[in-house]
Amino acid sequence: MSDVVKRFLAKGYAFPCACCEKLWSAQARGMDACEAALSGQDCGGPIAGMSFPLYQGPLTIQSLATRCFICGEPADEAVTTPAQQERFVGVCKRHVPTLDRLVVDEDLHIIRRAAGG
């Protein structure tokens, strides 16, 4: 994991955000949000009901599903939301309880599967 990604993770960004060129670009210009957020677009993970739909960077669709979206470690599960069932993001065993605790909206349902399946 690069020092840039580690620095963004330490600031509390999700792993895909920490690896996203849109965040890097905005940060280089002194902004505190990514290019998508600055332009009023929604891009987020399962807690926001999405699977990082505007992500742009070195991660592949497979690596989004097999790396924890919170910390970047290998995922034990992959999750998606009803709005984006074709795209999964990973979550490790350490962060499954965090995900469960943060998903409080009755309309937001997380669909799970084994990361390898």
Say if 114 falls within a structural domain. Answer: no
Say if 75 falls within a structural domain. Answer: yes
Share of the chain above pLDDT 90, in %: 60
Say if 116 falls within a structural domain. Answer: no
pLDDT band at 107 (very low <50, low <70, confident <90, very high): low
Give the tokens for residue 71.
């910390």
- Indicate the number of domains in the chain: 1
Give the tokens for residue 72.
């970047």
Say if 117 falls within a structural domain. Answer: no
Q: What is the DSSP string of 48-97?
A: GTS--TT--SS--HHHHHHBBTTT-SBPSEEEE-GGGTT--EEE-TTTHH
CA-CA-CA-CA torsion sign (91, 84, 60, 39): negative
Residue 46: its pLDDT value, please? Answer: 86
Instruction: Read off the pLDDT of each residue in 44-58 and give the average, rounded to a whole number.
Output: 90
Say if 58 falls within a structural domain. Answer: yes
Domain range for 55 is 3-109
Say if 115 falls within a structural domain. Answer: no
| Residue 112 CA from chain centroid, whole number | 15
Instruction: Read off the pLDDT of each residue in 7-18 and give the average, rounded to a whole number.
Output: 95
Question: For 68-102, how does the pLDDT look when each residue is reduced to its tens digit (9 = 90+)?
Answer: 999 999 999 888 877 777 889 999 999 988 887 77
